[in-house]
Amino acid sequence: MQFNEYYHGRTGLTVGVKKILFSEKTPYQKVEVFETDTWGNLMTIDDMVMLSEKDEFVYHEMLVHPTMFAHPNPKRVLIIGGGDGGSAREVLKHPSVEHVDMVEIDEAVVRAAKEHLPEVGDFENPKLTVLYEDGIRFVEQVEEKYDVIIIDGSDPVGPAVDLFSDSFYKNCSRALSENGILSAQTESPWVASYHPAIKQLFKALESWFKVSSMYLAFIPLYPAGMWSLAYASKGIDPQDPEVLERVEKGTKNMAPSLKYYNTDIHKGAFALPQFVRDIIS
Amino acid sequence: MQFNEYYHGRTGLTVGVKKILFSEKTPYQKVEVFETDTWGNLMTIDDMVMLSEKDEFVYHEMLVHPTMFAHPNPKRVLIIGGGDGGSAREVLKHPSVEHVDMVEIDEAVVRAAKEHLPEVGDFENPKLTVLYEDGIRFVEQVEEKYDVIIIDGSDPVGPAVDLFSDSFYKNCSRALSENGILSAQTESPWVASYHPAIKQLFKALESWFKVSSMYLAFIPLYPAGMWSLAYASKGIDPQDPEVLERVEKGTKNMAPSLKYYNTDIHKGAFALPQFVRDIIS
């Protein structure tokens, strides 16, 4: 059996599957977990790859660490989405963190992850609170401030479509403390149908944040293997020498558990190929 | 009809194909060109993707320009392989170039490219000489020196296996002039079966060159979308301020024709994820 995800006409990914471990139509989406032949267990939502046990380190390290190290002292962190638990696990590696709220709309994602991706999450960590709510409404209403917000949603179809909207980033800015920083996943630059959503998201970041940049990561099971992410802050530049010093020290301490991220990657990931620049300019 | 290339168990790429345009078993390999639904025409060798009309700009710009701009005045260039003509086309964009020798073992590759990938090559350029010879033997015997050598071979199986050997790089070093620089394609870091060949190649570069580094590019139709390349020189560091100045000026002049490469990419491409560093260390 093969799992297929097409991203460019009839071009896409094909993965050898041994067994379907989980399959549920929830009120929001279709959540599935497959046992694959070489990637460990693989979670998909609406037939799109979310993560496999073997490659999830790239996405989670790259969504979380550039932002977490850029902040001088991140104590309170909000994760929108991220129900598989991988982003929270990376956030919780930072010793300054006191409290993490993870707002996941779909409890089935967490349930499937706990059962079939047990190495991905750190759900027993007492610093982590999981709330089953709509993240978009949550940032509209939340009163407390966060130092870092991580937006770990799915593709701009279905429940995640408003994670690419102007009002969502306005609310995120309001929910961030003075030095606040956010990161978000922003799709593959090779999927032309998402370009309008990507463009809209970066326009929103420009409106509501002093600093905003796209950066990239190599994710083998995502469309075309190229994934874009967003960094936005109320003032901290990700290439500030103080930030780079924190990255250098922090990655040394965290080294045995990092398989992708390092200081060179922190600097180099913000380099964008010409055709990618053109998407957001 | 779908073309499939598997790189990790039963995981790989699937591409929608409309028609087979060229298929020939040559003395060296199987060469095919497919008309695809969204990538233009696609050339494969022994069932492995070489290039498509839509994505070849990434590979050719990234194999050629970091090296060509690093050299202060590249006049004579040798290309080993590269029968599709894309590397020569990028080399010939540099105004200092006086002569390019392309040594392609398999005339069928050039024939197929001229007929079915007409936009890729610049075969009518009077500065270009195409020689149908074994590139490995060519660098063993050649007397003239080159300023730049571009090694644009296929995967380390079949006729390209010795392009990953110690003696080949020893001969390349001998065939390079005083300021000489080379680049080579060095496979996907996600294909574990090629790690020994990659390691061997970088060990050879370390033995025969003063400066050697791996760098990366996002290539959507190659295994996992992540491709590694090698830079090696007799002394010129690719991050030297003089080099970066040349890149900045040169890319401005070349701008309309560059879709991937720019100064940021020249700097950022040499950043390696932790697991990639581990392959060659």
Query: A78-92 pLDDT, tens per residue?
Result: 999 999 999 999 999
Chain B residues touching residue A269 (CB < 8 angstroms): 268, 271
Distance, CA of A249 to chain centre: 23
Chain B residues touching residue A261 (CB < 8 angstroms): 273-274
B234: which DSSP letter? S
Answer whether residue B34 shows pLDDT above 80. yes
Exposed/middle/buried for A166, CB within 10 Å: 0-12, 13-18, 19+? middle
| Alpha-helix residue ranges (DSSP H) falling in chain A | 56-70, 86-91, 107-116, 135-141, 166-175, 195-208, 241-254, 263-268, 274-280
Q: What's the farthest any 2 CA atoms get from each other in chain B?
A: 51
Taking the CA of residue B10 and the nearest CA in chain A, the distance in Å comes to 5
CA B193-B199-B201 angle, to 5 degrees, is 110
List all residues 6 or more positions away from A126 whose beta carbon is below 8 Å from its beta carbon.
none
The encoded tokens of residue A196 equal: 């309008």
Spatial distance between the Cα atoms of A155 and A166, rounded to a whole number of angstroms? 16
| Alpha-helix residue ranges (DSSP H) falling in A176-224 | 195-208
Chain A residues touching residue B256 (CB < 8 angstroms): none
List all residues 6 or more positions away from A107 whose beta carbon is below 8 Å from its beta carbon.
A83, A132
Task: Using an 8 Å CB-CB cutoff, list residues of chain B that contact chain A.
Answer: 2, 4, 6, 8-16, 36-39, 58, 190, 216, 218-221, 224-226, 258-262, 264-265, 267-275, 277
Report ipTM for this prediction. 0.96
Answer whether residue B158 shows pLDDT above 80. no
Taking the CA of residue B139 and the nearest CA in chain A, the distance in Å comes to 33
B269: which DSSP letter? T
Query: A146-204 pLDDT, tens per residue?
Result: 999 999 998 888 778 889 999 999 999 999 999 999 999 999 999 999 999 999 999 99
Task: Using an 8 Å CB-CB cutoff, list residues of chain A that contact chain B.
Answer: 2, 4, 6, 8-16, 36-39, 58, 190, 216, 218-221, 224-226, 258-262, 264-265, 267-275, 277
B14 to A4: CB separation less than 8 angstroms, yes or no? yes
Query: Given this model, what pLDDT does residue B155 score?
Result: 84
Query: A123-145 pLDDT, tens per residue?
Result: 999 999 999 999 999 999 999 99
Taking the CA of residue A270 and the nearest CA in chain B, the distance in Å comes to 8
What is the layout of strands, in order, in the sheet containing B226-233?
B128-131, B99-103, B76-81, B146-152, B176-185, B226-233, B211-218
Query: B37-59 pLDDT, tens per residue?
Result: 999 999 999 999 999 999 999 99
Look over chain B and give the mean of its residue pLDDT values, rounded to a whole number.
97
The label of the residue with tokens 């500065």 reads B127
Supply φ then ψ for residue A147, to 5 degrees: -85, -35
B121 SS3 class: coil
The label of the residue with tokens 């047990």 reads A118
List all residues 6 or more positions away from B274 whose beta carbon is below 8 Å from its beta carbon.
A258, A259, A260, A261, A262, A265
Residue of chain A minimizing CA distance to B10: A16
Residue A270 to residues A25, A125, A164, A231, B138, Cα–Cα distance (Å) = 37, 32, 20, 9, 40
Q: HEC profile for A36-81?
A: ECCCCEEEEECCEEEEECCCHHHHHHHHHHHHHHHCCCCCEEEEEE
Q: What is the mean pLDDT of residues B173-191?
A: 97
Query: A258-273 pLDDT, tens per residue?
Result: 999 999 999 999 999 9
A271 to B260: CB separation less than 8 angstroms, yes or no? no
Taking the CA of residue A127 and the nearest CA in chain B, the distance in Å comes to 28
Task: Label residue B196 left, alpha or beta by phi (over 0 means left) and psi (-120 to 50 means alpha).
Answer: alpha
Taking the CA of residue B225 and the nearest CA in chain A, the distance in Å comes to 4
B269 to A270: CB separation less than 8 angstroms, yes or no? no
pLDDT level of residue B147 (50, 70, 90 thresholds):
very high
Chain A residues touching residue B225 (CB < 8 angstroms): 218-220, 224-226
Q: Amino acid identity, residue B151? A: I
Catalytic residue (one of B55, B84, B101, B152): B152
Domains and CATH numbers, chain B: 2-52 (2.30.140.10), 56-280 (3.40.50.150)
Q: Are A225 and A218 in contact (CB under 8 A)?
A: yes
Spatial distance between the Cα atoms of A156 and A198, rounded to a whole number of angstroms? 9
Residue of chain B minimizing CA distance to A273: B260
Residues of A noted as catalytic? 152
Query: Given this model, what pLDDT does residue A156 score?
Result: 83
Query: A240-256 pLDDT, tens per residue?
Result: 999 999 999 999 999 99
Answer whether residue B98 shows pLDDT above 90. yes
Look over chain A and give the mean of its residue pLDDT values, rounded to a whole number.
97
Q: HEC profile for B7-18?
A: EECCEEEEEEEE
pLDDT level of residue B96 (50, 70, 90 thresholds):
very high
pLDDT level of residue B32 (50, 70, 90 thresholds):
very high
Chain B residues touching residue A264 (CB < 8 angstroms): 270-272
A216: which DSSP letter? E
Exposed/middle/buried for B141, CB within 10 Å: 0-12, 13-18, 19+? exposed
Query: Given this model, what pLDDT does residue A159 score?
Result: 73
Query: Given this model, what pLDDT does residue A154 score?
Result: 84
B224 to A225: CB separation less than 8 angstroms, yes or no? yes
Verdict on whether the full-model pTM lies above 0.95: yes
The label of the residue with tokens 């020249």 reads B266
Q: Are B156 and B184 in contact (CB under 8 A)?
A: no
pLDDT level of residue A61 (50, 70, 90 thresholds):
very high
Q: What is the mean pLDDT of residues B149-169?
A: 90
Q: What is the mean pLDDT of residues A36-61?
A: 97
